[in-house]
Amino acid sequence: MKQGRGSCRAATPPAVLGLVGLRAGGGVPGSASPAEAILSLGGLLVLLIGAWARGHRPALTASWLTLAAGAAALWSAPVPPASSPFFGLILCDPFSLAFRWLALGTLAIVLLLASASRELAAAVRGECYGLLLLLGVGLMLMAEANHLLMAYLAMELVSLSSYVLVGFLRERRSAEAALKYLLFGALSSGIMLFGMSLLFGLTGSLAFPDLQAAVAGTGGPMARALLVAAALMLAGLAFKISMVPFHMWTPDVYEGAPAAVTALLSVGPKAAGLALLLRLLEALAPLWASLSPLLLALTVVTMTLGNLVALVQTNVKRLLAYSTIGQVGYLLIGLAVHTRVGHEALLVYLVAYLFMNLGAFACVVAVMNGTGSEALEAFRGLARRAPGLSLAFAVFLLSLAGIPPLLGFVGKFLLLGSALDAGEVALAVAAAVNSAIALYYYTNIIRLMYFAPPAQAEPLSPSPSPALRLALGSCAAATLALGLWPGPLLELISRLAVVRLL
Amino acid sequence: MLLTWLLACPLIGMLVVLALPKTAVRAIRAAALLATGFALLLSLELLIAYQPAAAGMQFVERAPWIPPLRIFYHLGVDGISLPLVILTALLGFLACIASYSIAERHKEYFALYLLLEVGMLGTFLALDLFLFYIFWELVLVPMYFLIGIWGGGRREYSAFKFFVYTLAGSLAMLLAILALYFRAHTFDLLELAAAGRTFELGFQQLLFLGFFLGFAVKVPIFPFHTWLPDAHVDAPTPGSVLLAGVLLKMGGYGFFRIAYPICPAAAMGFGGAMACLGVINIVYGAFVAMAQTDFKRLVAYSSVSHMGFVLLGLASLTPEGLQGAMFQMVSHGVVTGAMFLLVGVLYDRTHTRELSAFGGLGARVPVYAGFLIFFSLASLGLPGLSGFIGEFLSLVGAFGVWRWQTVVSLLGIVAAAAYMLQVIQQVLLGPLNERWRELPDMTLREGLSLAPLLLVTLGLGVLPLALLEVQDGALQRLIAHVVGAR
Amino acid sequence: MSVRLILLLSHALFALGVYGVLTRRHAIGLLLSIELILNAAALNFVLFSRAFGHVEAQAFALFIIALAACEAVVGLAIVIGLARHAHTVFADQVDLLKG
Amino acid sequence: MTPALLWIPLLPLAAFALLITCGRRLAPPVAGWVAVAALAASAGATLALAEPVLRGQRLAVRWAWLSAGDPRWALGLAVDGLSWLMLAVVTGVGTMIACYSIGYMRGDPRYPRFFAYLALFCASMLGLVLADHFLLLYACWELVGLCSYLLISFWFEKPAAAAAGRKAFITTRIGDAGLLAGILWLAWAGGTLQFDALAGLRETLSHGLLTAISLLIFLGAVGKSAQVPLHVWLPDAMEGPTPVSALIHAATMVAAGIYLVARTLPLFTPESLQVVLAVGLLTHLAAGTVALTMTDIKRVLAYSTISQLGLMMTALGLGAAALAMFHLTTHACFKALLFLGAGSVIHATHEQELGRLGGLRRAMPWTAAVFLIAAVSMSGVFPLSGFWSKDAILLAAQHDGPPWLLGALLAGAVMTTAYVFRLYLRCFHGAPAPHAGHESPLIMVLPMAVLALGAAAVGLAGSPWLAHPLLHLLGLTQIHAGIDVPILLWSTLAAAAGLWLAWSVGVRRARPLPAALRPLGTRLYTWAANKYYVDEWYQRLIIGPYLAAARGLSRFDLRVIDGAVDGAGLAGRALAVWKERFDRLVVDRLVNGTASAVRLAGAGLRWVQTGIVHQYLLVVVVAVVVVSLVLK
């Protein structure tokens, strides 16, 4: 692995990690995942409450309590620079910690959206919350997996929960989306599983560190076979992160699913999937020379296809689906360059992406609540009907487009930089060109909101609920504030972007 | 803290405007006017306190901003940026006066307007490349909205075109910035300039190309100029003024502050190409301007022509050439800004910009006619007015280095007379078009927004030394830096 | 049975599964085909665990079986939902979402 | 004395500033008097300078302009004999013309503005004359051009006037571009732009360089002094008020070119002097023939000016700067007088077609008298002013020029007399025309009288009778001591021939040519009457192609550059999708295939997303297979 700029301070004093709640010392190996445990239990509890209680308030309360408890547990969990508890199935290192926080953050905002969305019938919302929490557990475990079994289990946990969540609306499109998602996902994970079995057959090991050692010792025709196994495994992860050509489900599912779920799908599994992919690639590091050209090519193809097709969309959720594919392309840069700088950039951009994309979906939810429509046309003249909402949406879109001084720019800046740093000039140029393409469809929405006259003049009603306002406000504030003062964030992430296999 | 206050003025103004209720139009306007006015005063204070003889940056402020990337909030001015800062503050104030004719969505307008001014000022003040880029892009968004919401004609199309062109150019620049950072590990422009001299030629050329694309779109350099006529034509009058007066200068300034100091060997290598592009700009812009039937479009193309002199002077790398290029930037900002104001005055009354729709207004609106003739003459480079100095110095500087390019560009001077007089002819001369029998002359407010520009144009034309002396030291050092790098 | 033979079997199962996925129209048929793929993988794990003397892999196989059941449950639920809302269970008849 | 130096151009400039800012508040005659006073004061200041200048002193003042340290860019004013003479001409004639205008322009709605421009015109010309630095000269040179533009198109409601002004400005600017190129070259090669250093450059610069630079400078003079081929603006300039024409033709605009060449004569090599000579002679003769055929009073005078300027250029081509300046001085007097007389006629009759005029001698005795004096002076009849200056040139031609030159100049002299007397006779003699006319007011007649005095007597200052003080002033040392009798006879003979021609052909309409030559004569006449079709050729060869190029490039810009960048960039595709509004534009623009391909990419890829599950699954399987195969 090439060493980037940050390599000089790879060893970080644990005390500094206290910034995000990493406390030095005092940890008992094997109990390092209380947060996951709390969330799992809480999730099941919320499911029960949701099934029994009237209305969704009790379930919502329980969800927030669970989330708070999980966060507290994560905050207070002892984390040495790296440990491998739970029979070596999971790995707690700064890198996974970052993703666990990302998952929690995603969950929190999605909960806000789900509770505010008028799409979801009140009767089933409780179950929805429960599933969201379980999905969250899956996300955290994906990022922590240190073993093929845990990787598979975590991915299935995420998949199964999301299949159900996608089909939550009682209408044909939702069911259709769920079916497509299910079939596509099951096939992908089946293929991945088969690849895992082959990998196991070739190396005789399941845990990532062992794999790394075993792969390093493989040569000849076996190496060729290893590559086939890796390709099969790639299918499952590529599906999760909507990497071309395993992206086909994305737009259909995003369009059919409830907006809040779409929001979650567009961020959570992408982050966790990237984390897992990163770790898997780390385990297969000896094969890197073979894998890297493919990864680079797919990175470019992914961002280009996502951005190109997004140009012609008329449904906002579908548009954001393609935008997600494009954004995943950018994120993959951080992976594909395979340097410390790249990993940092990946993390920074994930943080940015979390806020700006969830914020954008919050706006979509608000507009759908107000107009009942998810067509782009619903945004026509929005600036006069809901100025605050439009402003927030404009901020998110501009951030997605990578306009400074918003957080998205900082992330993209680092990603492009990591590409150049690794000498991948073509990749950087492709990403830059893509940014320009993407500008069109992002600004098109802004154009509709600000330049076009509204179809009706009265203010949007109902105006966004407090929960939605909170989601919007926090995302917008984070996008703007962290864009203006990214220093602490970068500082933090430069300490977290430490990938270790134990 | 002077520079921070200078930036803070419009920023505070923007916050005040945002805090005011939508209906308090008068208060909003007053706040904007005050904010830009204070900025202008501060910039003049800057001019007074500036010491032309001292070397290096002045009024420097430096504080860590993003420590992990070694990015600093680093501001400062020297002889290259100071004139442009003052120009920006001046045009910002005058265009704010002209913004009184904005009829709707005042609050949004003035908030964006002030944000735009922050970006413009910041671009000229920043000494940190990252900070520079942030301000550079910050200019883009408000301008996009100004054109798209308050513009006329095909405003959405023009706004979009402006946005995409400029951003595409900026992305090339961004890549160059990144490549630079990962090579030199600093964003500090002064350190980069020192480090740049040590880069091998190939790398410098790549960097230069990236910066060139970014700046070329803004300047604009042929063939990246086609956003300009559309954006200028469809922008509201104050927007056009700032576009022509300040935004184009950002591109030229970029060459002075970034491309040339950081890639000196490449800059010298590309000198011939730059000179050729400059000549193409001059002649091509002048020819195309001649064929325009829309007043604003004509002025827009004349900008293309005039900015060619900046390139030509820049390419020469002689003291006269650089002085001329800088002078031309300031002069063009003032004169073209005024031209757009004048177009706006006419458009507000007649709602047309077709040159053939006018005729004989000279007798009907003598004050307006006087202003128009004055600025047209300044635009065509009449000696005694500021336009001449910039053109002449650029030509003198370039003549010894790029002989034929300079000679060909003289064609542009003749053509400039042709198209500017065409304007005067079609608008002011001939028999009065009966449609405008009742056309009122300029109001006091309009006169006030133009009079300072008139004085500056005349003053710079008669006493150019006032400006040239401010620039001299910094330009000498730039030449020494670039030429010494060989 | 030799390892080679079992490997052949598992690969045949995988191939059959993939073939089924590509040819079945009925949603449940598709799900069943995917089961085949999963079982091929499970078979591999069991086989290799014996070969390597690796116990964890056997656990893996057990987990696969369990998760396959979960998937079937969710899948059937979705198919039922589809049948209710779209009045069809044929996968090639759901193409409302496209473009 | 330096303050006086500064006051000379500054006084008229101040008058300009005063009149342009608050001229409207002044009563009409007051505005005129302000200008007259300023000019008269300048004239006074000039007189005050006479004493030191006549002693051969050179007064100068200098200040830093474009650079604090570099002496190259320090501007200056200076006065020596040459410039003093020009000062005297400009202020003297200018004052008279301004006086005359008070009467002539009475009742004009833009009365103050006229005098403002007039003052600026004189100020610029004075600055030009005083300039001691090429840059300052160029600045004033351009200002002179500007003022001519403003004044020629003063009555801008007339489209012809507006067009004439523009033509004057642009045509002269072509010459100016040459001058500018010369200045640039000089600045670069010579390292100095100061006039007192010009003589020194002869040694330092190579011969070829000097030729090139001097020819470029001459190009500027060609434009301003209306020499072939840039003479076309001057006849059109007649659209301006007549006093303006007088000013342009006598004292300011066109004199600048002659002055420039005279001033920079040290730079001219023998080769470039030959060019000057050729251009001058060609202009002299060609314009003379055209003047013979014109029927508009002012156009006759215009071509006569071009012709006389050609004569001066010829003198310059002979290297005789002093003689050219001498002729310039006398010409200023009689040409101004001719114009003012013509203006008086037009003022009285509102008619300027020769065919509709006649017999005005009785109605306008004063005008007729001064006109006659001017005509005689111009014809070079002994002993009026014109005689002295023209004779000196003829003499120089005989001595220094090729043998045929004297003949050519004498032919020119015949024509000069012929056209000016044709004009005089047809205006003031013969049957009275329907326009009765009346004598002009005193304020107009008085300046004419003063100028008549000049037209008659100024030449004496260069005559052997007074020992050539004027030529000494101009630094000429080798002067023919007495009157050269053969030349005197020749020129008198030429004047007589011209007079006969004017009488017999111009007035009595006799047909001098034998029948055999008549078709040729008619053709020549038609050519001359159509000004040799120069304007038409320019229209076809320069203006037309220029406008076509402008339009073509504009289309190119819109279609190709914009289209290509749009297409290669994003706007094109973006617009394509933006169906409701921009379809038309896109069809217009995205003509090339690549652009369309990019445009379709988005839509095409979209079409792959069919929504059919099996297809998706197939893609997965195929992708896995492909990826497995690709990896190695």
Report the pLDDT value the prediction gives residue A476, as an integer from 0 to 100.
95
Cβ-based neighbour number of residue D592 at 10 Å: 14
Report the pLDDT value the prediction gives residue D564, as an integer from 0 to 100.
63
Task: For chain A, say whether D606 makes contact (Cβ under 8 Å).
Answer: yes
Of A62-71, B259-268, D568-577, the one with minimum mean pLDDT is D568-577
Q: Rounded to whole angstroms, how far apart are CA atoms A80 and D545? A: 81
> What's B255's DSSP letter?
I
Which has more pLDDT, A23 or B341?
B341
Using a CB-CB distance cutoff of 8 angstroms, which residues of chain C are in contact with residue D610?
Answer: 95, 98
Q: B186 and B245 in contact (C-beta within 8 Å)?
A: no
Chains B and A touch (3+ CB pairs under 8 A): yes
Nearest chain A Cα distance for residue B181, angstroms: 8
Q: Rounded to whole angstroms, how far apart are CA atoms A103 and A12? A: 23
The reply to whether residue A227 touches residue D631, judged by beta carbons under 8 angstroms, is: yes
Sign of CA dihedral A13, A18, A22, A27: positive
| Regions in chain C scoring below 50 on pLDDT | none
Using 50, 70 and 90 to split pLDDT, how confident is the model at D607?
A: low
Annotated domain spans of chain C: 3-85
Of B149-158, D242-251, D503-512, the one with minimum mean pLDDT is D503-512
The reply to whether residue C67 touches residue A178, judged by beta carbons under 8 angstroms, is: no
Report the pLDDT value the prediction gives residue A126, as an integer from 0 to 100.
84
Report the pLDDT value the prediction gives residue D576, as an integer from 0 to 100.
38
Of A248-257, B411-420, D20-29, D179-188, the one with minimum mean pLDDT is D20-29
Report the pLDDT value the prediction gives residue D584, as an integer from 0 to 100.
34
Which chain A residues in 346-405 lie under 8 Å from chain B, judged by CB atoms? 383, 398, 403-405
Report the pLDDT value the prediction gives residue B485, as an integer from 0 to 100.
63
Report the pLDDT value the prediction gives residue C16, as an integer from 0 to 100.
93
* ipTM, two decimals: 0.85
Report the pLDDT value the prediction gives residue A12, as an integer from 0 to 100.
38
Q: Rounded to whole angstroms, how far apart are CA atoms D316 and D268? A: 10
Q: What is the per-residue pLDDT across D123-182, written as a single tens digit (0 to 9) for each?
A: 999 999 999 889 899 999 999 989 989 999 888 888 888 888 888 888 888 899 999 999
Using a CB-CB distance cutoff of 8 angstroms, which residues of chain B are in contact with residue D171?
Answer: none
Report the pLDDT value the prediction gives residue D595, as an integer from 0 to 100.
37
**For chain D, what is the total number of helices (H) and then of strands (E)?**
28, 2
Nearest chain B Cα distance for residue A5, angstroms: 8
Report the pLDDT value the prediction gives residue A21, as an integer from 0 to 100.
38
| Cβ-based neighbours of B8, under 8 Å, separated by 6 or more | none
Report the pLDDT value the prediction gives residue D605, as an integer from 0 to 100.
66
Using a CB-CB distance cutoff of 8 angstroms, which residues of chain D are in contact with residue B284?
Answer: 553, 557
Using 50, 70 and 90 to split pLDDT, how confident is the model at D211?
A: very high
| Cβ-based neighbours of D231, under 8 Å, separated by 6 or more | D283, D287, D306, D534
| Cβ-based neighbours of D257, under 8 Å, separated by 6 or more | D220, D221, D222, D223, D224, D225, D226, D227, D309
For residue A471, give the amino acid letter: A
Q: Rounded to whole angstroms, how far apart are CA atoms B467 and C1? A: 95
Chains B and C touch (3+ CB pairs under 8 A): no
Report the pLDDT value the prediction gives residue D575, as an integer from 0 to 100.
40
User: Domain C3-85's class?
Assistant: mainly alpha
Report the pLDDT value the prediction gives residue B257, as an integer from 0 to 100.
92
Chain D residues whose C-beta sits inside 8 Å of any chain C C-beta: 606-607, 609-614, 617-618, 621
Q: Rounded to whole angstroms, how far apart are CA atoms D461 and D480? A: 14
Report the pLDDT value the prediction gives residue D477, as an integer from 0 to 100.
65
Q: What is the per-residue pLDDT across D64-77, written as a single tens digit (0 to 9) for each?
A: 888 777 778 888 88
C-alpha to C-alpha distances, A443 to A413, A449, C31, D133, D315, nearest whole angstrom: 20, 10, 42, 57, 72
Report the pLDDT value the prediction gives residue D563, as an integer from 0 to 100.
66
In which element (H, E) is residue D430 found?
none
- Which chains border D (3 or more CB–CB pairs < 8 Å)? A, B, C
Using 50, 70 and 90 to split pLDDT, how confident is the model at D594?
A: very low
Using 50, 70 and 90 to split pLDDT, how confident is the model at D578?
A: very low
Using 50, 70 and 90 to split pLDDT, how confident is the model at B258?
A: very high
Report the pLDDT value the prediction gives residue D2, as an integer from 0 to 100.
64
Q: What is the per-residue pLDDT across D335-369, written as a single tens digit (0 to 9) for each?
A: 889 888 888 888 888 888 877 777 788 888 888 88
Q: What is the per-residue pLDDT across D444-487, written as a single tens digit (0 to 9) for each?
A: 888 888 888 888 888 887 777 777 777 777 777 666 656 778 88
Tell me the pTM.
0.89
Place of tokens 């800057």: B46
- Which chains border B (3 or more CB–CB pairs < 8 Å)? A, D
Q: What is the per-residue pLDDT across B93-114, written as a single tens digit (0 to 9) for each?
A: 999 999 988 888 899 999 999 9
| Regions in chain A scoring below 50 on pLDDT | 1-31
| Cβ-based neighbours of D57, under 8 Å, separated by 6 or more | none
Q: Among D570, D573, D613, select the one facing A180 at the smallest CB separation.
A: D613
Q: D100 and D444 in contact (C-beta within 8 Å)?
A: yes
Q: What is the per-residue pLDDT across B279-296, written as a single tens digit (0 to 9) for each?
A: 999 998 898 888 888 999
| Cβ-based neighbours of D384, under 8 Å, separated by 6 or more | D373, D376, D377, D455, D456, D459
Report the pLDDT value the prediction gives residue C54, as an integer from 0 to 100.
84
Using a CB-CB distance cutoff of 8 angstroms, which residues of chain D are in contact with residue C22?
Answer: 614, 617-618, 621
| Nearest C-alpha in B relative to D167 | B418
The reply to whether residue C95 touches residue D612, judged by beta carbons under 8 angstroms, is: yes
Cβ-based neighbour number of residue B104 at 10 Å: 8
> What's B217's DSSP letter?
H
Q: Rounded to whole angstroms, how far apart are CA atoms A251 and A487? A: 35
**Closest among D496, D359, D506 to D423, alpha carbons compared:** D506
Report the pLDDT value the prediction gives residue A242, as an integer from 0 to 100.
92
The reply to whether residue B145 touches residue A450, judged by beta carbons under 8 angstroms, is: yes
Nearest chain D Cα distance for residue B32, angstroms: 32
Chains B and D touch (3+ CB pairs under 8 A): yes
Using a CB-CB distance cutoff of 8 angstroms, which residues of chain D are in contact with residue A323?
Answer: none
Report the pLDDT value the prediction gives residue D432, as an integer from 0 to 100.
74
Q: Among D570, D602, D624, select the one facing A436 at the smallest CB separation.
A: D570
Find the mean pLDDT for residues D586-605.
Answer: 46
Using a CB-CB distance cutoff of 8 angstroms, which residues of chain B are in contact with residue D543?
Answer: none
Report the pLDDT value the prediction gives residue B438, as an integer from 0 to 100.
84
The reply to whether residue C41 touches residue A197, judged by beta carbons under 8 angstroms, is: yes
Using a CB-CB distance cutoff of 8 angstroms, which residues of chain B are in contact with residue D561?
Answer: 222-223, 225-226
Q: Rounded to whole angstroms, how far apart are CA atoms A35 and A37? A: 5
The reply to whether residue B167 touches residue A403, judged by beta carbons under 8 angstroms, is: yes
Using alpha carbons only, what angle is made at residue D354 by residues D350 and D358, rounded to the nearest 5 degrees?
80
Report the pLDDT value the prediction gives residue B435, as an integer from 0 to 100.
84
Task: Report CA dihedral (C47, C48, C49, C52) to the nearest 10 degrees.
Answer: 130
